Amino acid sequence: MRCFGDGDPLYEAYHDDEWGVAVHGDRALFERIALEGFQSGLSWITVLRKRPAFRAAFAGFDPELVARFDEADVARLLADAGIVRNRAKIEATVANAHALLVLAESGRTLDDVIWSHAPAAPGRERPATWADVPSQTAESMALARELKSLGFRFVGPTTAYASMQACGLVDDHLAGCRVVVAR
């Protein structure tokens, strides 16, 4: 039994192999934060289907390359039907690349920042229903606050929590789901 994704091979693979699995490394985490920001207000499957186009449009989410994007790149992205064409989200992704580089210059990593907000896992039971899954937590509020203080944009507590789910900081697969996730 899957708690979501049945019937769509792409969504099933995401559920089985990615969602809730620990993600490390600044580039991978930058991509997840960007995609969660683009998902805001949309269904995740929409963004998942567009992920290859996002990767092409945003130079494989290489923060050094994305940080160099200028207004011509923003215009190019706004014309790219393969991605979600939202100026605020595009500009936030470019700004987040800048913030990530500044963070690295200070000797810190995005990996360290994000994973420092992982809640204690032992003893936590999986939620019984989707109604039991929070949209934000104290940890996601703290993560959003820290990311914003570091210059990241489009990272409110709800987006931060979705990122925490996607990157394996929390395991919100429902009780009875066949997926076993190790942190």
Q: What is the mean pLDDT of residues 23-49?
A: 96
Q: What is the mean pLDDT of residues 8-30?
A: 96
Q: Which of 12, 18, 44, 91 is catalytic?
A: 44
* Residue from 149, 172, 148 nearest 161 by CA: 172
Q: Is 64 a catalytic residue?
A: no
Q: Is 44 a catalytic residue?
A: yes
Residue 60 and residue 82: Cα distance in Å, rounded? 15
Indicate whether 183 pLDDT > 60: no
> Where on the phi/psi map is residue 130: left (φ > 0), alpha (ψ -120 to 50), or beta?
alpha
Q: Is 161 a catalytic residue?
A: no
Q: Which of 36, 115, 139, 161 is catalytic?
A: 36
pLDDT tens per residue, range 117-162: 999 865 678 899 999 999 999 999 999 999 999 999 999 999 999 9
Residue 94 and residue 104: Cα distance in Å, rounded? 16
pTM of the model: 0.94
Q: What is the mean pLDDT of residues 160-172?
A: 95
Q: Which of 14, 19, 115, 161 is catalytic?
A: 14
pLDDT tens per residue, range 37-71: 999 999 999 999 999 999 999 999 999 999 999 99
Task: Tokens for 101, please give them.
Answer: 């580089």
| pLDDT, greater one: 7 or 123 | 7
